[in-house]
Amino acid sequence: MNPWIAIGALGLIAVVIPVGMIAASWLIRPSVPEQGKNLTYESGEVPTGTARLQFNIQYYMVALLFVIFDIETVLIFPWTLVYRPALENGVALSTMLLPMLAFIGILVVGLVWAWRNGAVKWAKSPFASKRKTERDA
């Protein structure tokens, strides 16, 4: 038997079951048109103001730095598991160490650049300073 038949059957099942479930729920479910379903929040709360708020760019910078250094740890961890057995099997130290040091060096350069540009320095909120002066008065 050809192994591609099993792969094709698995792919067909992976498509047919979800599509069938969506079609069955579309046919069975009751249709209750209601004005509240078209609102931004379906909880029954009346929305106030606009949903378009301007966020501080530093939230995104911190998130990007987190992702970068999270990926760093994900890549360093397997390297540490391979490091000692590779050295025991005769791989040269420079072959194992130099690529990882270059990788960490690039990340350090990126961190220094972000630090010098103020990406990790948190800005004071004008609302926080306003509340502080109101509270002190």
In angstroms, the CA 110 to CA 130 distance is 35
Residue 130 belongs to some domain of the structure? no
Residue 11 belongs to some domain of the structure? no
Residue 45 belongs to some domain of the structure? no
Q: Is the pLDDT of residue 44 over 70?
A: no
Q: What angle do CA 108, 114, 117 make, to 5 degrees?
A: 140
Mean pLDDT of 75-93: 85
Which element (helix H / strand E) includes 121? none
Residue 52 belongs to some domain of the structure? no
**Domain count across the chain:** 1
Amino acid letter, 82: V
Position of tokens 């005769």? Answer: 90
Structural domain containing residue 64: 57-118
Please, which pLDDT band fits residue 38 given cuts at 50, 70 and 90?
Answer: low
Residue 114's nearest CA partner among 76, 63, 72, 70 is: 63
Please, which pLDDT band fits residue 97 given cuts at 50, 70 and 90?
Answer: confident
pTM, rounded to two decimals: 0.47
Residue 77 belongs to some domain of the structure? yes
Residue 127 belongs to some domain of the structure? no
